[in-house]
A and B are shown apart, each in its own frame.
Chain A
């Protein structure tokens, strides 16, 4: 069945393989264990949020507020933990905040029928401004709870904890999209909302769930980011939403809904982060970290179009 990875991932796999070979020829340290772990750690945050974003795009919606929400969530989580001295309460507050943002986006889109591109840009603006009303500067780690630091920097069985969390979320998301009625309905709603509604599906509720899930995943990512930076940074997460969406689209998920896989998204994240890593270890100008992915996205999308045109008919 075409919902899993199939031949559609060939282009991306090829690009990934080429990148790995090229970078390792130029810089042999690419394949060291430490560097591989570093790449995976870089992937984790993006993959966590991209899992939710894939669901949204499959349902023909999008959320541009994830970057702004990511920063705000980190501030909220750190602040509440500081005030209460309880990591549990801090975590719950962060998840409640980010989940609330997701729910808000979902309600605006499904109830008020505002286009999700517009609605979530508006949310992004509110959050970017709102975070400065909440705190003028970075919320420092005053509680020094060890488990909080572990969240970003710790290891279990040789793997960084963020990577393990991302892997669990990815697997859960993959199972949900691929094997459950919920996943199948998301594809249906994205592919043809009217047909889905005529078939008795609750299209609006499904979309709401996808928005909420994306929000909660932003909460998880926000906590990890705050742990890594050992602070809640209001300026963190600028441009994060574009990296996430770029990875999802690179993975072959259609902006018009109904098509896409999480395996593709995983490959998309890997490609972007291997490029980042390559630029760093080759000591290229860091500004190329934005330029090269831009070129790759156009290239990959075009190659995929060529491939599909050949497959059609």
Chain B
């Protein structure tokens, strides 16, 4: 199915494109990652690159960064045909990619990181530290970014480290800056700062590629948008030619009727989780709430409000200072996940890689981890029973995987998340705590995760959801509690909640 030529961008007659990629193809053994993909960037414009996980965005930007070689197609930078064989090549040609995983050296100062590849050298070959600090400060002034060049990079929050990466691009006189999911761990005010910086970059005539799942952001910042799907070029249009629905349609090839399906009424059961007087050394102050069987209880808070800390405390992962946690009326021993799990509370962590997945291990081992005792006799695993249980969840949740023996690192984020949810359902829980359940998951899979959580509540689980995504909060929760500074600052029934009220309480 070749892409429709009519959908390709018309040749830009005016300014020469900053970057022109034509007919790009890339294969991995057994997979066609990209086929005949075009991307044309105009100087001084923000070009959004969108698509579901597995659509080929990452492969494309890795080709731009010189991490992967292309198998087919041509790349022109500033009108001149070129090859990007190594990351050094790309940088030398003025192309800088800011990856999601920040590639800075934490132990070095900000200024050192910026000039890592090309330390200015003084007389006698010694590094000119004074000049480095001065030039770093000048760069920061250009993008309107306030940080001490002598600060240790690892001490800065992620948002500022990102700015350091962007400053690094400027130090290399980059003409093209690619940002991969730059807002995935930023607070709203940090996002606003990032957008201000992006506008400064475009004012300098730099072409920006903005890779994101977040539709609202794309509509706010992008001038043009290119959509990929299954490794193919689907469309390139000015952002004005899109609305939410048309963009989603291009991304997933179908319309999502309702991102937040609700299958259940407002039936609520008995209290299955009650938390009182909960404080921790780190963050939480006197938190108390209850969750009932059959409801989705949404917790909202800005970054640093204490959502993740609360999630980890109530499942027994982190120690607490004071307070009680009871599951189904029975007290949970703090800082002991084993009793937590046996009482029926489990956490779907926000940090999928760090606290959820065993990346190298197969889907089967990943899914059955918490429930393995159910499939064992006298300490021996009965693999037949285990496999059929895993298979039934794979079918029920429509987990896309070539086999149960597939290492889970090869699955998309959405499918990984389904496996982790199944891990808990296999075990059988009364309360599932989900922390940012759709982080890094694309739109199509998101609606499936929402439907899944909704169904769990319908089946009588209490779903406690920690989120920083307002649409997710309002779309899925029956009740909403808002946190700020480690406390619960407000509570709303679903019908009474509005975005303004919630944000007001969150700012505290």
Q: Which residues of A contact B (CB under 8 A)?
A: 1-2, 179-182, 184-185, 187-188, 191-192, 194-202, 254, 258-259, 310, 313
Q: Please tell me if the beta carbons of A313 and B380 are within 8 angstroms of each other in the complex.
A: no
Q: Please tell me if the beta carbons of B365 and A195 are within 8 angstroms of each other in the complex.
A: no
Q: Please tell me if the beta carbons of B365 and A187 are within 8 angstroms of each other in the complex.
A: yes
Known contacts A1-B362, A191-B361, A258-B358; decide if A179 and B381 are in contact (CB<8 Å).
yes
Does B405 have its Cβ within 8 Å of any Cβ on chain A?
yes
A-B contact pairs, 15 of them (CB 8 A): A2-B362, A2-B407, A181-B376, A181-B380, A182-B379, A187-B358, A188-B358, A191-B360, A191-B361, A195-B356, A196-B369, A197-B337, A199-B370, A254-B360, A258-B361
- Chain A residues contacting B341 (CB-CB under 8 Å) are 199-200
- Counting chain B residues whose Cβ lies within 8 A of the other chain, the interface size class is 35 or more
B301 CB to nearest A CB, Å = 21
Q: Please tell me if the beta carbons of A313 and B361 are within 8 angstroms of each other in the complex.
A: no
CA distance A180 to B361 in the complex (A): 16
CA distance A184 to B372 in the complex (A): 9
Q: Please tell me if the beta carbons of B30 and A192 are within 8 angstroms of each other in the complex.
A: no
Does B315 have its Cβ within 8 Å of any Cβ on chain A?
yes
Q: Please tell me if the beta carbons of A192 and B358 are within 8 angstroms of each other in the complex.
A: yes
- Chain B residues contacting A2 (CB-CB under 8 Å) are 361-362, 405, 407
Q: Choose from B355, B362, B373, B381 the contact partner of A195 (Cβ within 8 Å).
A: B355
Q: Give the residue name and chain of the B residue nearest to A200 (CB).
A: B341
B358 CB to nearest A CB, Å = 4
Known contacts A258-B358, A313-B31; decide if A188 and B369 are in contact (CB<8 Å).
yes
Q: Please tell me if the beta carbons of A310 and B381 are within 8 angstroms of each other in the complex.
A: no
Does B191 have its Cβ within 8 Å of any Cβ on chain A?
no
CA distance A201 to B340 in the complex (A): 11
Q: Give the residue name and chain of the B residue nearest to A259 (CB).
A: B360
B176 CB to nearest A CB, Å = 27
A-B pairs, 3 with minimum CB distance = A200-B341, A191-B358, A313-B28
4 further A-B pairs in the complex, CB-CB below 8 A; given A182-B379, A194-B349: A195-B355, A198-B317, A198-B356, A200-B342
Q: Give the residue name and chain of the B residue nearest to A185 (CB).
A: B372
Q: Give the residue name and chain of the A residue nearest to B317 (CB).
A: A198
Q: Please tell me if the beta carbons of B29 and A200 are within 8 angstroms of each other in the complex.
A: no
Provide the B27-50 mask, 1 if CB < 8 A to any CB of A, else 0: 011110000000000000000000
A213 CB to nearest B CB, Å = 15
Residue in A181, A198, A199 whose Cβ sees the most chain B Cβ within 10 Å: A198
- Chain B residues contacting A313 (CB-CB under 8 Å) are 28-31, 410
Known contacts A181-B381, A196-B369, A197-B317; decide if A202 and B358 are in contact (CB<8 Å).
no
Q: Please tell me if the beta carbons of A184 and B381 are within 8 angstroms of each other in the complex.
A: yes
Known contacts A1-B405, A2-B405, A313-B29; decide if A198 and B315 are in contact (CB<8 Å).
yes
Enumerate B344-370 residues with CB–CB distance to A below 8 Å. Answer: 346-347, 349, 354-362, 364-365, 369-370
- Chain A residues contacting B373 (CB-CB under 8 Å) are 181
CA distance A86 to B288 in the complex (A): 65
CA distance A200 to B317 in the complex (A): 9
Known contacts A198-B315, A258-B361; decide if A192 and B379 are in contact (CB<8 Å).
no
Q: Please tell me if the beta carbons of B359 and A194 are within 8 angstroms of each other in the complex.
A: no
- Chain A residues contacting B361 (CB-CB under 8 Å) are 2, 187-188, 191, 258
Provide the B312-333 mask, 1 if CB < 8 A to any CB of A, else 0: 0001010000000000000000
Q: Give the residue name and chain of the A residue nearest to B409 (CB).
A: A312
CA distance A201 to B349 in the complex (A): 16
Does B338 have its Cβ within 8 Å of any Cβ on chain A?
yes
- Chain B residues contacting A192 (CB-CB under 8 Å) are 354-359
Residue in A1, A182, A310 whose Cβ sees the most chain B Cβ within 10 Å: A1
B266 CB to nearest A CB, Å = 31
- Chain B residues contacting A182 (CB-CB under 8 Å) are 379
- Chain A residues contacting B376 (CB-CB under 8 Å) are 180-181
- Chain A residues contacting B380 (CB-CB under 8 Å) are 179-181
Q: Choose from B354, B360, B379 the contact partner of A258 (Cβ within 8 Å).
A: B360
- Chain B residues contacting A259 (CB-CB under 8 Å) are 360
CA distance A310 to B28 in the complex (A): 9
Q: Choose from B29, B337, B359, B381 the contact partner of A198 (Cβ within 8 Å).
A: B337
Q: Please tell me if the beta carbons of A181 and B379 are within 8 angstroms of each other in the complex.
A: yes
Does B423 have its Cβ within 8 Å of any Cβ on chain A?
yes
A174 CB to nearest B CB, Å = 13
Provide the B397-439 mask, 1 if CB < 8 A to any CB of A, else 0: 0000000010100100000000000010001000000000000
- Chain A residues contacting B346 (CB-CB under 8 Å) are 198-200
- Chain A residues contacting B315 (CB-CB under 8 Å) are 198
A217 CB to nearest B CB, Å = 20
A207 CB to nearest B CB, Å = 15
Q: Please tell me if the beta carbons of B355 and A194 are within 8 angstroms of each other in the complex.
A: yes
- Chain B residues contacting A179 (CB-CB under 8 Å) are 380-381
CA distance A83 to B365 in the complex (A): 51
Q: Give the residue name and chain of the A residue nearest to B371 (CB).
A: A199
- Chain A residues contacting B383 (CB-CB under 8 Å) are 1
- Chain A residues contacting B372 (CB-CB under 8 Å) are 181, 184-185
CA distance A194 to B349 in the complex (A): 10
CA distance A2 to B410 in the complex (A): 15
- Chain A residues contacting B407 (CB-CB under 8 Å) are 2
Residue in A1, A181, A194, A200 whose Cβ sees the most chain B Cβ within 10 Å: A200
B245 CB to nearest A CB, Å = 34
- Chain A residues contacting B364 (CB-CB under 8 Å) are 1
CA distance A187 to B337 in the complex (A): 19
A70 CB to nearest B CB, Å = 29
- Chain A residues contacting B347 (CB-CB under 8 Å) are 198
CA distance A254 to B360 in the complex (A): 11
- Chain A residues contacting B358 (CB-CB under 8 Å) are 187-188, 191-192, 195, 258
CA distance A96 to B405 in the complex (A): 41
- Chain B residues contacting A185 (CB-CB under 8 Å) are 372
CA distance A197 to B362 in the complex (A): 19
CA distance A191 to B347 in the complex (A): 18
- Chain B residues contacting A187 (CB-CB under 8 Å) are 358, 361, 365
- Chain B residues contacting A191 (CB-CB under 8 Å) are 358-361
B368 CB to nearest A CB, Å = 8
Provide the B380-393 mask, 1 if CB < 8 A to any CB of A, else 0: 11010000000000
- Chain A residues contacting B338 (CB-CB under 8 Å) are 200-202
Q: Give the residue name and chain of the A residue nearest to B341 (CB).
A: A200
CA distance A201 to B381 in the complex (A): 15
CA distance A310 to B356 in the complex (A): 27
CA distance A138 to B308 in the complex (A): 59
CA distance A249 to B213 in the complex (A): 41
- Chain B residues contacting A254 (CB-CB under 8 Å) are 360
A185 CB to nearest B CB, Å = 8
Q: Give the residue name and chain of the A residue nearest to B420 (CB).
A: A195
A67 CB to nearest B CB, Å = 30
- Chain B residues contacting A258 (CB-CB under 8 Å) are 358, 360-361
- Chain A residues contacting B30 (CB-CB under 8 Å) are 313
Q: Please tell me if the beta carbons of B317 and A184 are within 8 angstroms of each other in the complex.
A: no
CA distance A194 to B315 in the complex (A): 13
- Chain B residues contacting A201 (CB-CB under 8 Å) are 338, 369
Q: Give the residue name and chain of the B residue nearest to A256 (CB).
A: B360
B314 CB to nearest A CB, Å = 12
Q: Please tell me if the beta carbons of A194 and B354 are within 8 angstroms of each other in the complex.
A: yes
Residue in B337, B346, B359 whose Cβ sees the most chain A Cβ within 10 Å: B337
CA distance A259 to B407 in the complex (A): 12
Q: Give the residue name and chain of the B residue nearest to A179 (CB).
A: B380
